[in-house]
Structure 1
Amino acid sequence: MPPTRKGAATRRRIVEGAAREIREAGVFALRLEDVMARTATSKSQLFHYFPGGKDDLLLAVARLEAARVLDDQQPELGALTSPQAWWRWRDKVLARYRAQGVSCPLHVALSQLGTATGAGRAVAAELLAQWQRRLAAGIRHLQRDGENIAAGLDADPDAGLDADREAAALLAGIQGGVLILMTTGSADHLEAALDSGLARLGLAP
């Protein structure tokens, strides 16, 4: 039976409270007692929504943070219909990760979950799949509308670039740049990956 509106709100409050705890103190310092105190919930309430305890809660936090990755790129990510829109999206992605710096709540939650049960892997895979689909849709829009005059982007999908493959390459570059940012604190590689990816699509700034 689906949760009531009040139940759904309580569950979301617990997840958001846990996410804030992780952002402030780190995942290794996360204690269920602290989450309960922050969210004004009882132990019975917490285990009602998260029977597996901390692991179930971490999985919910990972899903929340994965959704935020995409939400933070809107409305640009859902409207990649012109060269200008692509560059606005690029600027938003770069600003998001520069503001985030070396701490990535999603990475922290996923690394703690591990891949023993495949739960963390499934969350990451779904995030990347959704992200890639939206990038590919933007590339196809350019191909259909002829906005791009680069030789590689042709209105005939058999003659031009493979939208799915190009989206995958762009996403791989972004993820590599984010990993380097988390390691070194520098967003230079992320910026280069974004700029190179858009240049390959013939999108001049």
Structure 2
Amino acid sequence: MTPRLTAKGAATRQRIIEGAATVIRERGPGETTLDDIRGRTATSKSQLFHYFPGGREELLLAVASHEAARVLSDQQPYLGELTSWQAWERWREAVIDRYREQGPRCPLGVLTSELSRTTPGAQAVTRELLASWESDITAGIRSMQEQGEIPASLDASRAGAALLAGIQGGVSILMATGSLTHLKAALDMGIAQLRAEPSAPAVPCGA
């Protein structure tokens, strides 16, 4: 259990997480030791275990949560403001820029692979990330429906799930090949499909 922290303690814990994330991005979790993290963050052994009583596993899980939060924060404010087609295009660019900068090596992916051998917590981090991401995309689709830009008959939840699935497929191919082509295609085709949804036909007066 993580101890109840003061504001200063919470800031120190976050500093350790961010420092650990930097080391793990450089070396990978399998090659990163607690001594590496202590050296990078200027933290004593007792201090490290004060903030992470569960040791390395708890710290890696905290770093995984940090990396998951970065996936979403790197898409803001656009992901949370999908209220016009221009906003959707800005979000598309933010997603591509985010994964272009990350490259084929996914910090969250390697962390969850390392953790999944010993703890179910890593799966929970991934589930929460995908649920939050899908929720924001779906909220954007519903906003466009309210404006009459997308027909109300479209199942917003299924459309949001499909678009996220396409993005994740593109990210997986990026990790395997280093190419952004499929991610761009998934975003372009997904947004184009939303824009191309036929509106309900007008009902003639007196019909």
What does residue 9 of structure 2 align with? 7
Deviation at 1:117, TM superposition (A): 2.9
Question: Distance between the aligned counterparts of 1:14 and 1:117, measured in 2?
Answer: 21
Distance 2:28 2:196 in 1: 39
* Gaps in structure 1 of 5+ consecutive residues: none
Q: Which position in structure 2 is the counterpart of 1:179?
A: 172
Q: C-alpha distance in 1, partners of 2:117/2:37?
A: 24
Runs of 4+, deviation exceeding 2 Å: none
| Distance of 1:30 and 1:131 partners within structure 2 | 29
Cα distance in 1 for partners of 2:121, 2:193 equals: 35
Matched, 1:67 2:64: no
1:35 equivalenced with 2:69 (yes/no): no
Q: Please report how far the alpha carbon of residue 9 of structure 1 lies from its aligned counterpart in structure 2 after TM superposition.
A: 1.0
107-116 or 80-89: which moved more? 107-116
TM, length-normalised to structure 1: 0.92
Aligned pairs, how many?
195
Deviation readout 1:33-63 (Å, 9 max, x if unpaired):
1111111111011111111211101100000
Residue number in structure 1 paired with 2:151: 154
Q: Hey, what's the Cα distance between the residues in 2 that align with 1:4 and 1:96? A: 33
% same residue: 61
Deviates further, 95-104 or 182-191: 95-104
1:201 aligns with 2:190: no
1:67-106 to 2 correspondences below 5 Å: 67-106=69-108
Contact 1:115-1:121 within 8 A present in 2 as well: no
2:80 partner SS: helix
Query: For the residues of structure 1 that align with 2:19 and 2:111, how far apart are their CA atoms?
Result: 14
Question: Which structure's CA Rg is the greater one?
Answer: 2
Q: Alignment partner of 1:103: what SS?
A: coil
